[in-house]
Chain A
Amino acid sequence: MSRFAFTLGLYRDYLANYIKTKLSYRADFWIEVLSDLLFNGLNLVFIFIVFMHTPSLGGWSEAEVVFVYGYFMLASGIFSTFFSAWNFSERYIVKGEMDRVLTRPAHSLTQVMLENMDPPAMFGALVGLVILISSWMTLGLPFHWYDPLVLIVMVLGSCFIYMGIYTAMSAISFYSDAPTGIGPLIYNIQNYGRYPVEIYNKTIKFLLTWLLPFAFVGVYPASFFLGRLEEWWMPWLTPVVGLVFLTLGVAFWNYGVKRYRGAGS
């Protein structure tokens, strides 16, 4: 427990530090928020334009697709707030910063996450929540007392999936220092998860459900609230898959850290 409190304390200190740096470059902060929202806006505009020409997308109505997108924004926004080590290989392995991280008491992954916090992404999550609530009302979905709790569990599960996958991606650089270009690749596959999986063919659907389970950051958990429960247990796999992937990702990381020998400079 004291270890948990220690890590939590670190989060508070790093966040305070982040805020202090950003307060001296305030414009930068808002520009980051703006770029982030613009990118999400582009995808929403795409959805709106598409639904001018079709009443449904693979059996999903406009409000439902927007709901799924809102969920996606919420989960991925929260995830990127705490984890955005996109240049891990270059910064930590090639430039040797990993050695500094390893000499400190906190867990190496925690430190890497802390040093790459990205609070502007939180605004994306907020906008996602607003979209979620407004399409909730458009659809006239019933509201149960347990829905907010379920939402928290689902979003946590989705974030765990992202964390597991991207932790494993970053950990690849412990095993091979050559650039693999796999990060952007996965990032592009991630975008498939924003739309109902029914529209893809069997192979892609299988990939998105079991191998790179990005469908659990969007369609599956969202279908719980939308009441589309052809397979009622599917949404509930979100936290399970999340825990499995997070465990695997962290194990892969820890094993990588053990193998890591430094860049040698």
Chain B
Amino acid sequence: MMSMYLDFVRIRFLMMLAYRVNYYSGIVIYAINIGAYYFLWKAIFGEAETLQGFTVIQMSTYVAVSWMARAFYFNNLDREISNEIVDGSVAIQIIRPYSYLLVKMMQGFGEGLFRLLLFMIPGMIVVSFIFPLELPTDPMQWIVFFVMIWFSFLINTQLNLLTGLGAFFFENNQGIMSMKRIMVDLLSGVVVPIAFFPGWAISIMNWLPFQAITYLPGSVFTGRIQGADVWNALLVQVAWTVVLIVPILLVWRVARRRLFVQGG
């Protein structure tokens, strides 16, 4: 049973390998984005030594690592699911002897794994040559970071599944998908670390799943979260992963009854 799901990971990995041009230009795009934010933050710091407890070097490390983590957890599963629901091919997939949502997740994981090995790691090496970064020296920090971005992947993918399934209920799912994408980018801390938001916003964001996607792993990597707090951050991620299973299963139950495929 498990080997079947692993095959989905493998196939998607090979599929990504076949479209290599996207991959090369992807690395450059990430470097461009990291560069843009690097210069912006440098200008924002100006003369200041630290802002909200970030030093300039910590900030550039945070920017680089959060974009690299984004390469791993980012996927277009919401669009894929949405398209399959709209064109009706979801019907064929549902009658197959596997869990549709689990298969989607595995495909997303194959994509993420590809980007982790061929994109994130070489990208991080390239970026660390161009920009001054401060990488953690404690091996434990690295291990915890990789565990945490695994949970980032799970949480982000769960949100993608949830928005993708929205296509069962709305004729045009585009608006919800772009809203989700912008919310993830803004509230997860890729664009601005959460510490920079005004106090009232931080207290709201602490109760949302988005911070668990980028801000928590990024903070562990840059050493802003240390000691016992690291385990708390990990716990928050685990809690959100478990909590998000509930709405997905609920929506999935209701959605399957609503499915009608025109033509085909």
Q: Are B191 and A42 in contact (CB under 8 A)?
A: yes
Q: Which residues of the partner chain A approach B51 to less than 8 Å between Cβ atoms? A: 53-54
Contact A179–B21 (Cβ < 8 Å): yes
- A195 at interface, CB cutoff 8 A: yes
Say whether B139 faces chain A, with CB atoms less than 8 Å apart.
no
A34 near B: Cβ within 8 Å? Answer: yes
Alpha-carbon distance A32/B197, docked complex (angstroms)? 28
Instruction: Flag whether A23 is at the interface (Cβ < 8 A).
Output: no
Contact A39 B196 (CB under 8 A): no
- Chain A nearest CB, measured from B114 CB (Å): 16
By the criterion CB–CB under 8 Å, are A32 and B43 in contact? no
**How many contacts A-B (CB < 8 Å)?**
92
> Given contacts A54-B44, A57-B44, A189-B32, are A180 and B182 in contact (CB under 8 A)?
no
In the assembly, what is the distance between CA of A31 and CA of B171, in Å? Answer: 11
A2 at interface (Cβ–Cβ under 8 A)?
no
A54 touches B192 (CB 8 A): no
Which of A39, A52, A184, A192 interacts with B36 by CB under 8 Å? A192
CB distance from A236 to the nearest CB of B (A): 26
Known: A179-B21, A181-B24, A184-B25. A27 touches B172 (CB 8 A): yes
- Bound together, the chains give a CA A35 to CA B192 distance in angstroms of 20
Q: Give every chain A residue within 8 A of B48 (Cβ-Cβ).
A: 54
The answer, yes or no, to whether A211 is at the interface (CB within 8 Å) is no
* A residues less than 8 Å from B32 (CB atoms): 185, 188-189, 192
Cβ–Cβ contact B175 & A52, under 8 A? no
Q: Chain A nearest CB: distance from B182 CB in Å?
A: 5
Q: Quick check: A181 and B25 within 8 Å, CB to CB? A: yes
* B234 located at the interface, meaning its Cβ lies under 8 Å from any Cβ of chain A in the complex: no
Interface residues on A, range: 35 or more
B-chain residues with CB within 8 Å of residue A179 when the two chains form the complex: 21-22
B261 sits at the interface (CB 8 A): no
Closest residue of B by beta carbon distance from A200: B39
Contact present for B35 and A204 (CB under 8 Å): yes
- A201 engages B197 (CB within 8 Å): no
Is there an interface contact between A199 and B42, defined as CB atoms closer than 8 Å?
A: yes
Once the chains are docked, how many angstroms separate the CA of A35 from the CA of B179? 7
CB A53 to nearest CB in B, in angstroms, measures: 5
In chain B, what residue has the closest Cβ to A183? B25
- B33 located at the interface, meaning its Cβ lies under 8 Å from any Cβ of chain A in the complex: yes
A141 part of interface (Cβ distance < 8 Å): no
Output the least CB separation between A59 and chain B (Å): 9
Residue-wise, chain A 14-46 has the 8 Å CB interface mask toward B (1 for contact) of 000000000001011001101100110110011
List B residues 124-138 near A (Cβ within 8 Å): none
Is the C-beta of B186 less than 8 angstroms from some C-beta in chain A? yes
Judging by beta carbons under 8 Å apart, are B191 and A46 in contact? yes
A149 in contact (CB, < 8 A): no
CA of A67 to CA of B178 in the docked complex: distance in angstroms?
A: 26
Give the bracket for the number of chain B residues in contact with chain A: 35 or more
User: What 1/0 flags go to B163-178 for Cβ under 8 Å of A?
Assistant: 0000000011011001
Cα–Cα, bound, A49→B196 (Å): 7
Interchain CB contact under 8 A, A42 and B40: no
Q: Chain B nearest CB: distance from A55 CB in Å?
A: 9
Quick check: B172 and A184 within 8 Å, CB to CB?
A: no
Known pairs A50-B192, A53-B196, A181-B24; A35 contacts B40 (CB<8 A): no
B129 to chain A: closest CB distance in Å? Answer: 15
Known: A188-B33, A201-B39. A50 touches B44 (CB 8 A): yes
Closest to A28 in B: B172
The CB with the most chain A CB atoms within 10 A, among B175, B179, B182, B198, is that of: B175
Query: In this assembly, does A110 line the interface, its C-beta being within 8 Å of a C-beta of chain B?
Result: no
The verdict on A138 contacting chain B, using a C-beta distance below 8 Å, is no
Chain A hits for B21, CB < 8 A: 178-181
Task: For the complex, give the distance between the alpha carbons of A21 and B198 in Å.
Answer: 44
B18 to chain A, nearest CB (A): 12
CB distance from A229 to the nearest CB of B (A): 21
Contact of B185 among A42, A53, A199, A204 (CB under 8 A): A42
B28 in the interface, Cβ–Cβ < 8 Å? yes
Please, which residues of chain A bring their CB within 8 A of the CB of B198?
49, 52
Chain B residues contacting A27 (CB-CB under 8 Å) are: 171-172
User: Complex formed: what's the CA distance from A200 to B191 in Å?
Assistant: 18
Which residues on the B side are within 8 Å of A35 (C-beta)? 174-175, 178-179
Residues of B within 8 A of A198 (CB): 43
Which residues of A are found within 8 Å of B121, using beta-carbon distances? none
How far is B191's CA from A132's CA once the two chains are assembled, in angstroms? 24
Interface centre among A49, A58, A185 (most CB of B within 10 A): A49
B8-48 Cβ-contact flags toward A at 8 Å (1 or 0): 00000000000001101110110011011001101111101
Pairs of residues from A and B, 5 with the lowest C-beta to C-beta distance, nearest first: A181-B25, A199-B43, A31-B175, A35-B178, A58-B43
A-B contact pairs, 11 of them (CB 8 A): A31-B172, A52-B196, A52-B198, A53-B52, A179-B22, A181-B24, A185-B32, A188-B29, A191-B36, A199-B43, A204-B35
